[in-house]
């Protein structure tokens, strides 16, 4: 099997110098860029299967680089490394079509797990669900920009947290998502007490979606591990 | 010069007043035969009086303004003191794990056998995690100021019960008591972010367990008081010396007896930030050797 090619973009050489060999040992072929401009150049030259990119960089920051790539119809999956982990920044990462994100400081093993998960669900050259404005799953519709959702044509009353949770689950379908991962991605905080917060919100979401936990159509519980969105998700225009 | 003016300027309206009144009496005396001129003198006296009153009002306004300025200066200097204290404490919190990491790295590069190298690796990893936790907690504190607060209707009884159950699971050698009124009516609902409030309660309970020994008692009680819900977490632990009471809610503060106990030093600061963000306030009573009572007050609604 051919090794997947990863482009690692960060202006902090202490990070790239240690992460690159780590990713290579994990079985990837790695190239490094130190800012957005170099990254755009490398995307064209090295043609990576996935880009791991820091947000805060000199010259061209990660967010702008991502925007430019998408404008060029380049759908290479991107994992953003955020520095501040503010809720706003994460929501923007989703809106602009980042496929996943990790808060610094992170465990490098977690990065490898994220890379593998994103690579598994992307089809080369195709826009990913992460960059779709509207998502459909059966009778469930989600409009991401306006943050509204409908079930059988009826609009759902979701709290902002429940909406963010649904959005994350729907953009990562058929993927086992741990509670810790949901906390980091949706809450942005690594609560020491997280499981309870996640379980409460999933229960809220299920109630609103009339999804039976025993026989789920949308969100399945994987005992002791986390949750999985089992509905078929399609991007809609 | 300026100072003397500050002290003596109050005399100015008085001098004007006395001179003016004297002058007006003189004029009145001189014009007592002519009614028109006499009235005009009266008018002049009135205008003079109005001028004096305005001068005094102007001075009063200046005085009030200068009081405010002093108040502002006091606040700014307090903020500077707080900031310096925070930086000193942060420096201290960073120093220890970094020293351990550097020592660990030196051991790794000079290790003669695999065993001592593994030992050093474990130290470095643990200390790096400690720094990560500190960074995460600092970020939470910073975000608490700005992140939008969810306004859900929260059943305090359920929230307390859940926090209580979690604490009891984690420390089964402590005696736990939960005291929530049911009659004649249950606790009123409060509005806010359930995850943040749960975090605050969890931190308080974790703290109570940390500063007590197995066999000690931790009690949660709640009651309604006017328009607030009062939540108390009481323990029969070490207690906090009086001179430390006002500091324990501060960021990165560590009490004298708390030095040996692990923690980021931000747990109670987070509790306070969460409660204040919800329009409530926190307080603390304690006796050394007997225990402490941490009190949270949250507005009903």
Q: What tens digit of pLDDT does each residue of B264-287 get?
A: 788 899 999 999 999 999 999 999
Residues in chain B with CB shorter than 8 Å from the CB of A197 are 194-195, 198
Has residue A174 been placed in a domain? yes
pLDDT of residue B208: 92
Cβ contact (<8 Å) for A197 and B202? no
What does CATH list as the number for B152-299?
A: 3.30.565.10
Lowest mean pLDDT among A88-92, A208-212, B292-296: A88-92
Has residue A28 been placed in a domain? yes
Residues A95 and A153 grouped into a single domain:
no
Distance CA A8, CA A39 (A): 8
| CA–CA distances in Å: residue A215 to residues A104, A167, A182, A195 | 37, 21, 22, 22
Task: Tell me the range of A22-31, A90-99, B129-138, B210-219 where mean pLDDT is highest.
Answer: A22-31
CA distance A67 to chain B (A): 25
Residues A146 and A205 grouped into a single domain:
yes
Q: Shortest CA distance to A185 belongs to which of A161, A157, A208, A203?
A: A161
Residues in chain B with CB shorter than 8 Å from the CB of A196 are 162, 166, 198
Has residue A213 been placed in a domain? yes
Residues A112 and A142 grouped into a single domain:
no
Give the three-state DSSP class for B128. helix
Tokens of B199: 């975090």
Cβ contact (<8 Å) for A87 and B150? no
Q: Which band of pLDDT confidence, cut at 50, 70 and 90, is reported for residue A87?
A: low
Distance CA B39, CA B35 (A): 6
Residues A194 and A107 grouped into a single domain:
no
Cβ contact (<8 Å) for B148 and A197? no
Q: Which band of pLDDT confidence, cut at 50, 70 and 90, is reported for residue B59?
A: confident
Lowest mean pLDDT among A50-59, A109-118, B138-147, B284-293: B138-147
Final residue before a domain boundary, out of A102, A121, A140: A121
Residues A146 and A229 grouped into a single domain:
yes
Asked whether the beta carbons of A109 and A20 are under 8 A apart, the reply is: no
Nearest to A160 among B131, B150, B162 (CB): B150
Residues A142 and A214 grouped into a single domain:
yes
Distance CA A37, CA B49 (A): 76
Q: Which band of pLDDT confidence, cut at 50, 70 and 90, is reported for residue A48?
A: very high
Nearest to B199 among A86, A160, A191 (CB): A191
pLDDT digits (tens, 9 = 90+) for A156-200: 998 888 888 999 899 898 889 988 888 877 877 766 666 778 888
Residues A10 and A108 grouped into a single domain:
yes
CA distance A182 to chain B (A): 14
pLDDT of residue A194: 64
Q: Shortest CA distance to A97 belongs to which of A119, A80, A121?
A: A80
pLDDT digits (tens, 9 = 90+) for B13-24: 778 778 877 877
For chain A, the domain total comes to 2
Q: What is the mean pLDDT of residues B235-255?
A: 89
Give the three-state DSSP class for B301. coil
Nearest to B166 among A160, A161, A193 (CB): A193
Residues A186 and A232 grouped into a single domain:
yes
Show me where the domains of chain B are located. 1-147, 152-299
User: What CATH number did the domain enclosing A142 receive?
Assistant: 1.10.10.10
Residues in chain A with CB shorter than 8 Å from the CB of B140 are 189
Rg (CA), chain A: 18
pLDDT of residue A159: 83
Nearest residue of chain A to residue B267 (CA atoms)? A192
- Is the pLDDT at B1 greater than 60? The verdict is no
User: What CATH number did the domain enclosing A42 receive?
Assistant: 3.40.50.2300
Asked whether the beta carbons of B215 and B221 are under 8 A apart, the reply is: no
Residue among B101, B128, B195 with most chain A CBs within 10 A, to mutate: B195
Final residue before a domain boundary, out of A63, A97, A121: A121
Residues A19 and A99 grouped into a single domain:
yes
Instruction: Please give the residue that has the higher pLDDT: either B129 or B263.
Output: B129
Residues A21 and A58 grouped into a single domain:
yes
Mean pLDDT (chain B, rounded): 87
Has residue A127 been placed in a domain? no
Distance CA B218, CA B237 (A): 9
Cβ contact (<8 Å) for A84 and B194? no
Instruction: Please give the residue that has the higher pLDDT: either A102 or A109.
Output: A109
Q: Which band of pLDDT confidence, cut at 50, 70 and 90, is reported for residue A5?
A: very high
Beta bridge partners, B220, equal B178, B233
pLDDT digits (tens, 9 = 90+) for B132-174: 888 888 888 888 877 778 888 999 999 999 899 988 888 888 9
- Is the pLDDT at A236 greater than 60? The verdict is yes
Distance CA B129, CA A64 (A): 31
pLDDT digits (tens, 9 = 90+) for B174-202: 999 999 998 899 999 999 988 889 989 99
Residues in chain A with CB shorter than 8 Å from the CB of B195 are 161, 187, 191, 197
Residue among A191, A193, A199 with most chain B CBs within 10 A, to mutate: A193
Final residue before a domain boundary, out of A69, A95, A121: A121
Cβ contact (<8 Å) for B136 and A189? yes
Residues A188 and A103 grouped into a single domain:
no
pLDDT of residue A96: 66
Instruction: Please give the residue that has the higher pLDDT: either A31 or B15.
Output: A31
pLDDT of residue A86: 52
Q: Which band of pLDDT confidence, cut at 50, 70 and 90, is reported for residue B6?
A: low
Cβ contact (<8 Å) for B139 and A160? no
Residues A16 and A75 grouped into a single domain:
yes
What is the tally of helices (H) and strands (E) in chain A?
8, 13
Instruction: Please give the residue that has the higher pLDDT: either B195 or A150.
Output: A150
CA distance A124 to chain B (A): 35
Nearest to A87 among B135, B147, B202 (CB): B147
Domain range holding A18? 5-121
Pairing of strands B291-299, A234-236: unpaired
Cβ contact (<8 Å) for A159 and B135? no
A188 touching B (Cβ < 8 Å): yes
Listed in order, strand segments (DSSP E) in B134-236 are 152-154, 175-179, 190-192, 217-225, 228-235
DSSP output for B195-207: HHHHHHHHHHHHH
Cβ contact (<8 Å) for B139 and A85? yes
Has residue A81 been placed in a domain? yes
Cβ contact (<8 Å) for A189 and B148? no
Residue among B94, B135, B139, B192 with most chain A CBs within 10 A, to mutate: B139
């Amino acid at each position: 099997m051919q090794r997947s090619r990863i482009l690692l973009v960060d202006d902090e050489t202490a990070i790239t110098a240690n992460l690159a060999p780590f990713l290579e040992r994990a079985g990837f072929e790695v190239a490094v860029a130190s800012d957005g401009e170099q990254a755009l150049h490398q995307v064209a030259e090295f043609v990576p299967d996935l880009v791991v990119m820091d947000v805060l960089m000199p010259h061209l920051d990660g967010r702008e680089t991502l925007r430019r790539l998408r404008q060029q119809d380049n759908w290479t999956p991107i994992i953003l490394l955020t520095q501040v982990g503010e809720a706003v920044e994460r929501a923007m990462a989703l809106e602009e079509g980042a496929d996943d994100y990790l808060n610094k400081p992170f465990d490098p093993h977690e990065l490898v797990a994220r890379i593998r998960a994103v690579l598994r669900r992307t089809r080369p050259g195709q826009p990913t669900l992460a960059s779709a404005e509207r998502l459909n799953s059966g009778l469930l519709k989600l409009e991401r920009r306006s943050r509204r959702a409908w079930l059988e044509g009826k609009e759902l009353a979701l709290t902002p947290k429940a909406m963010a949770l649904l959005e994350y689950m729907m953009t990562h379908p058929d993927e086992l998502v741990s509670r810790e991962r949901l906390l980091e991605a949706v809450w942005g905080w690594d609560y020491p007490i997280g499981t309870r917060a996640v379980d409460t919100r999933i229960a809220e979401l299920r109630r609103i979606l009339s999804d039976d936990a025993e026989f789920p159509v949308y969100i399945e519980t994987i005992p002791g591990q986390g949750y999985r969105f089992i509905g078929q998700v399609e991007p809609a225009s | 010069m300026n100072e003397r003016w500050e002290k003596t300027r109050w005399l100015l309206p008085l001098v004007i007043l006395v001179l003016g009144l004297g002058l007006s009496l003189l004029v009145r005396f001189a014009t007592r035969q002519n009614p028109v001129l006499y009235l005009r003198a009266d008018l002049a006296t009135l205008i003079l009086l109005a001028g004096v009153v305005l001068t005094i009002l102007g001075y009063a306004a200046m005085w009030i303004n200068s009081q405010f300025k002093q108040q502002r200066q006091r606040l700014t200097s307090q903020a500077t003191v707080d900031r310096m204290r925070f930086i000193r404490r942060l420096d201290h919190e960073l120093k220890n794990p970094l020293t351990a990491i550097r020592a660990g790295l030196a051991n790794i590069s000079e290790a003669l056998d695999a065993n001592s190298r593994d030992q050093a690796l474990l130290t470095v990893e643990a200390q790096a995690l400690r720094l990560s936790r500190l960074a995460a907690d600092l970020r939470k504190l910073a975000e608490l100021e700005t992140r939008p607060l969810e306004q859900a209707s929260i059943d305090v009884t359920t929230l307390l019960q859940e926090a209580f159950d979690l604490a009891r699971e984690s420390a089964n050698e402590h005696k736990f008591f939960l005291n929530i009124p049911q009659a004649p009516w249950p606790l009123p609902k409060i509005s806010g972010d359930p995850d943040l409030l749960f975090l605050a309660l969890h931190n308080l309970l974790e703290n109570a367990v940390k500063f007590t020994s197995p066999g000690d008692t931790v009690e949660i009680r709640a009651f309604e008081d006017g328009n607030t819900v009062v939540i108390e977490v009481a323990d029969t632990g070490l207690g906090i010396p009086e001179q430390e009471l006002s500091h324990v809610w501060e960021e990165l503060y560590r009490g004298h007896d708390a030095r040996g106990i692990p923690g980021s030093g931000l747990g109670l600061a987070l509790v306070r930030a969460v409660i204040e963000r919800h329009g409530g306030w926190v307080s603390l009573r304690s006796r050394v050797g007997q225990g402490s009572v941490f009190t949270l007050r949250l507005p009903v609604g």
